[in-house]
Structure 1
């Protein structure tokens, strides 16, 4: 498998995952305070939404790379 085919498959998989899940979330530490032996921290949950057009574009570009990306096998 050459690198163009691997990139095309990765784009298709990423596009399908973007359409299925629509986004992801993560936890970020924002503030910390240490008062002697006591430690306080605040964690915020951040959500990143992936637009539908980005998922569709990944699938289309990946498919185009698979069809037209290489000069044969």
Structure 2
């Protein structure tokens, strides 16, 4: 439980700091024998600020519940 709580806190903090992630995918448009046409598409994955805060808060709750259970 302790590890899961710490991971949730770290992921939540990273989501607060990095509000979006950009990545590129390659897509094959046409394949005409020796000639290949490929297209690069850029995508953006974004999330709201409260999602990162919520995940970090869940990590704190899991961490607190795990430490309370063992003592």
Tell me whether the two structures share a fold, i.e. TM-score over 0.5.
yes
Post-superposition CA distance 1:11-35 (Å, at most 9, x none) = 0000000011112122123442112
Residue matched to 2:30: 33
- State the alpha-carbon separation in 2 of the partners of residues 49 and 31 from structure 1: 26
Over aligned residue pairs, what C-alpha RMSD do you find? Answer: 1.5
- Unpaired segments ≥5 residues, structure 1: none
Runs of 4+ in 1 over 4 A off after TM superposition: none
- State the alpha-carbon separation in 1 of the partners of residues 4 and 44 from structure 2: 26
Q: Residues 1-73 of structure 1: matches in 2 within 5 Å?
A: 4-70=1-67, 71-72=69-70
- State the alpha-carbon separation in 1 of the partners of residues 28 and 42 from structure 2: 13
